[in-house]
Structure formats: C-alpha cells, structure tokens
Structure 1
Amino acid sequence: MDLRAWCAGLCAGMIGLAGCGGTSGEGQSSGSPGASGSDGAGGQGQGDDIFGQGGDPLGLGSGGADSGGTGTDGPNSSGCEHIDIVFALDNSQSMSEEQESMREVVFPAFAEALLQMDGIKDFRAGVLDACPRPANFHTRGAAGECSFQSGKPWMESSSTEITREFQCAADLYGDDVECSGDSDDEQPASAAAAALEPPFSTGENAGFLRDDALLVVVAITDEDEQPVPRQQPQAIHDRLVAAKGDAKNVVFLGIGGKTDCQGAYGSADEAENMQRLVDTFASDGRGFFWDLCEGRLENGLTNALTAIEEACTEFVPIPR
C-alpha cells in the first residue's frame, strides 16, 4: 500500500493540527502515569482528545500558534524546518516483536507523516541499540552494511530508499557492543545521550546535530532504563538538553511498560525510571510516554507528532 495513503488512513486529520480519533490516546500521556492524578501530568492522554486538553489538540487556546509571533512567520523568525531524530532500541531477545513493528510498520508511517507537517523540509535519523558502549549510530544491520545514500552514519529523508535503510539499521547489529548483557544493555536513553556527547559526537557521529533542527529522541525498552553507572533521570535529561542548549528544543518519547504486564508484544516490566525521565521533559510539554502494554507503537509515534509540531513553532536556534 502507498505509504501516504496508509498514514492518511491511520492519522486522518492528525497532520494539520488535528488529533487521531477513536481511542488512540489511551496508552499515551504527557508525563508519566501517576505523576499527577491517575493518568500522568494533568491527567492527559485519554479518549478522543490525544492530550486531554479539549478541542484544541495543542492546548494553545484561542490565540493559537500564529497570534504570538513565535511561529515561522512571526516577527521573531523562530520555528524549525529541520528535525534530527535518535532512535534507541533495546536489543534484548524479548524485544523481537517490537523491533519488527518498528521496522515494518511504525517508521515508514512516521517518516511519511513528518514530511507532511507544515513547514518541515527534511529530517535525519540515527539508530542505536541500548548499550552506550559504543554509542555510534548503526550503519549496518544483522544482515550486513546498510549503505545509506547520505554517505553518513545516519539516514536523510531525501533518500529514495529511506524505508529500506531504516529496516536495515533497525535489524540491530550487536556484535560490537561492550556491555555484559547483565541489564547494562538496557539503557536506551543513556545510549542516546552518549551518542550526542564526546567522544561519539566528535567522532563517528560528528555533524549529526544541526543548530537549526529540533531534536527528537525515541527510547524503547520492555524492561526499564538502567543506566550504568547509576544516574538519576534528571541527569539523563540534563545530558540530552545540553546537546541542544534549551529544553524546549528537545522532544523525548519514552516507550515502556506502564506496569508489569503481558501485553500485545509479550511481557514487559514496569518502566519506572523511563516514566520518571519522561516527567523531567513534561514540565516543558516535551515529554511523552507510551505504554508498551497497549501495543500499537505506530499510535505512540504518530501521537507524538502533535508535540513535535508545537515544539517546532516555539523552536529558537541557540547561538553557538
């Protein structure tokens, strides 16, 4: 099926600032579940309104994005046209079903939807496993080299084979990891942070981050974020923000178990640390959690598009 038609059917009305209908918001919230009220910060993420904020899916009120001068057409000339995405995927054996969904369904729809967003000209995407040693973006999959058209260790949306490239990289190659496999290989958010810091940001991953691009981090695990050495979620938040200079220039989507469960993709442990990490971004409206127990990873990412679009209207490049 043509991806444009597929995504249009999945997210009818989503792009162009309208929310997906039905019950697609049930597994998603701004802030972790239980942080404030029963369903996350402000009790968001239930029912037909994705973020639980009434008829306006962005919660902008009557002023909207165009009345305050913060969008791409405003007097301050803020806003973003480019997006840099880091996908960090738990590579443990129990994640095979989630990885297959990401490769075959989720990323093709997400990539197509990003390019349909108003004002977005392009995106680039790097893929990691959940071990930060090393935190180089994957340029090969289990079957061999991915041969990105970009000629870089990341994919560019201009590639005519972007779906094939992601499917290759997301078929994670793990023979070079230095983690022991004793839970230290299940720290996707920490791996994403390491990828954007020296020595990796000045080595293999050099040039990935653009000053005029919004940073989007997607971290997924069926256990929990388990940093080695131990770090508090706030410390991981600060590392990711440091890469962009301002918390409003980062969108973080954490995907894990809301509770211990036997869900759509098999068993999942409660991702307590991941949910706490989401909370650190939620105060700026930039953190979102998707319950892996609910399944439907495609809904988790397409729901996040609304947050990405809002973040782009407020994006202001940080002078270097």
Structure 2
Amino acid sequence: MRRAAVSAVLLAIFLLACGGPRRIPIAPDTDGGAPEADGALPSVDAGTVDPPLDAGELEACRAVDVLFVIDDSASMADQQASLIASFPGFVQGMREQLSNAPSLHVGIVTSDAYRDNASGCTEIGDLVTQTGGFNASGRDCGPFAGGRFLSDADADLSSRFACSAQVGTGGADDERVARALLNAVSPERNAPGACNAGFVRPDSLLVIVIISDEDDVRDGCSMDSGFGETCDSYGSGGLPDDWFAELSAHRDPASVVVLSLIGRSADNTCGAVVASRLLGFARRFGDNGYVGDVCASSYDGFFREALPVIGNACVNLI
C-alpha cells in the first residue's frame, strides 16, 4: 500500500510538471478511513489557476448563467454562510478566467418549494428574490437589474447575493435538488412572463452549483400496517440518468457545468450524508462535472479549483 501511495504522488507531480490536468486522482486513504462516495477520489489543489483565456477562445462564450441550488434544511446554516463568504472571489475568478466575459446572470433556488418567496413564485425551481424563516436574511433582496435574477448590471452583486443566498433553514428534510435545478432551467420556467423569465439564455454557458449536506431523496412509498400504502417521501422523479436526459432534451450537455458541494464520504466533520445520486448526476457531464466537500470550512479552494473546469467548458462551447 505504501508503494502504491508513493507511485500516485509521483504521478501527480509528473502531471503537474507537464502542464497536465488540474484535477488529479490520488490513492485512497491508507489509514482505514471510509472510501469516497461511489468510488470518487478527492482532488489535489494544484495551486495557481490556469491563465485567462484569450479573446479568440472566448468567441463562443460571451454569456454565463450561474444557478445556485441551495439546500435550505435545518442543518445548512453554516454551509450557507460559507457559500456567501466565497461568492465574491468566485465571481472575480470567473471574470479573470474568462477575460471578463461580457454578460453574467446569477440565480438562486432552494431544494424544495420556498414559501417565503415573492407571491406567485413559490414553487420548487422558482428563483429566490426574497427570504424568510429561521436563519434567513428575512428581506426582499430586489429589485434586480435582471428582474428576478442577479446580473453584472447590479451595482452591488455580492451584497445582493448574500441577501438572496441566505435562504434559511426552515425547508423540508426531503431535499429535491435535481427537481429544483431541472425546473429552474426549463424552457417553460424561463419563458416571458414566467417566474424565471430571461434567466437562462440559449447561447450561454450554464454553470449549476449544488450545495447540500444530504442526497436527493428517493422516490417511493412504504407499507404502513393498518393504513395500506402511504408515501412517506417523494423525490425529484427518476434517477441520475433520467435527470440528465430531461436536461439534455432542451440543452446541449456540453454547454453545462455542474459543480457540486456535497457529502463525499461517510467519515466527515459535519454529519453530511453521502450523496451518491447527486454525485452520479455530476458524473454524467464528464469533464464538465466537479465535486467538492460540503463539510469544508471554506469553499474558496473548491471554487478556485473549479475555475479551469469552467474555462475549458467555455473553450469547447460550440
């Protein structure tokens, strides 16, 4: 085992020296720790971020739409605070990585129907414009330049994001992350007059950021003795393959990046559940998927390491 670990480290050093991939699998822990979810391997912080892309490479990537899917269940207060703290650096990093791509949209949804949102837009997948409930900012965060979403036209993007992203911890314990993101980016929800009108553009690079300390709840019912069949939970509908197919029906997967801050290992510091279903969804996007640890004390490193993923997707966007 020691020889295998040393070989893995030498391989990582070799790849870095040769300008290889920024995300490098390393050997599993040899101290008996639990393995990563679904065989996932952690990433190595490669240090500096790739250089910005030049104007020619950015010809096909002139619009970036970023959707944050935030778990608003009872255990998520610290994670929401970490996300808010890391947001300014993430946006600045994207602007530098993409050589100031001229148009940015930012939207936020929760992992269930959000009853404290503006009237008429409280269904799962509707963009958040006002918050309420326990540990929420408790404010109307608009008006936004984009209507119901943030954009680079907003004067103080970071403070407005902080208001909207502090969605609180009064949400359902049955997280429906996949249904939230699928509804949020659907053509119907983005049509004129709909709750997310104009947020997702057909020619944009769509970056989906998931933050949850539990997996997407499974569909299913249970047999309750004396009461017959009762549904005790309901999920997003289907499996990761089904979610991928639903999104792919109206959007080229090559134009989508999925960044997931989720539970990757049963042995973690914040009680996160291993999110094998959400991990499976991210993996459907190949090199456009990137997974980090929701229990991390800071998300700065995760977003820094994800910048080359966004940059490469931008280059490959056709």
TM norm. shorter chain > 0.5: yes
Query: Deviation at 1:134?
Result: 2.8
Given the alignment, which residue of 200, 213, 220 partners 1:209? 200
Q: Which amino acid aligns with 1:207?
A: G
Given the alignment, which residue of 34, 58, 79 partners 1:98? 79
SS at match of 1:239: helix
2:285 is the alignment partner of 1:281: yes
Task: Provide Cα deviations, 1:110-166, integer angstroms capped at 9, x if missing partner.
Answer: 112122224412311000111153321001123221113315110002211101110
Question: Corresponding residue for 2:240?
Answer: 233
Identical counterparts, % of pairs: 23
Whether the 8 Å contact between 1:88 and 1:127 is mirrored in structure 2 is yes
Query: Deviation at 1:24?
Result: 11
Question: Corresponding residue for 2:267?
Answer: 261
In structure 2, distance between residues paired with 1:85 and 1:217:
6
Query: Deviation at 1:49?
Result: 6.8
Question: Corresponding residue for 1:196?
Answer: 185
Whether the 8 Å contact between 1:195 and 1:205 is mirrored in structure 2 is yes
2:141 is the alignment partner of 1:146: yes
Query: Deviation at 1:34?
Result: 6.4
In structure 2, distance between residues paired with 1:146 and 1:47:
35
Question: Corresponding residue for 2:305?
Answer: 303
Question: Corresponding residue for 2:11?
Answer: none
Given the alignment, which residue of 24, 46, 53 partners 2:44? 46
Given the alignment, which residue of 56, 64, 72 partners 1:83? 64
Given the alignment, which residue of 109, 134, 139 partners 1:128? 109
In structure 2, distance between residues paired with 1:174 and 1:262:
21
In structure 1, distance between residues paired with 2:210 and 2:160:
19
Query: Deviation at 1:215?
Result: 0.3
Q: Which amino acid aligns with 1:253?
A: L
In structure 1, distance between residues paired with 2:88 and 2:236:
35
Given the alignment, which residue of 247, 258, 269 partners 1:252? 258
Provide closer, same or farther for how the CA distance between residues 139 and 229 of structure 1 changes in structure 2, counting only shifts above 3 A: closer
SS at match of 1:128: strand
Q: Flag the structure with larger Rg.
A: 2
Q: How many residues align?
A: 259
Q: Alpha carbon RMSD of aligned pairs, Å? A: 3.4
Return 5+ residue gaps in structure 1 as ranges: 1-17, 27-31, 51-55, 59-64
Query: Deviation at 1:218?
Result: 0.6
Provide closer, same or farther for how the CA distance between residues 171 and 135 of structure 1 changes in structure 2, counting only shifts above 3 A: same
Q: Which amino acid aligns with 1:45?
A: S
Q: Which amino acid aligns with 2:56?
A: D
TM normalised by structure 1 equals 0.71
SS at match of 2:91: helix
Q: Which moved more, 1:77-86 or 1:124-133?
A: 77-86
Task: Provide Cα deviations, 1:18-39, integer angstroms capped at 9, x if missing partner.
Answer: 99x9x9998xxxxx9566xx65
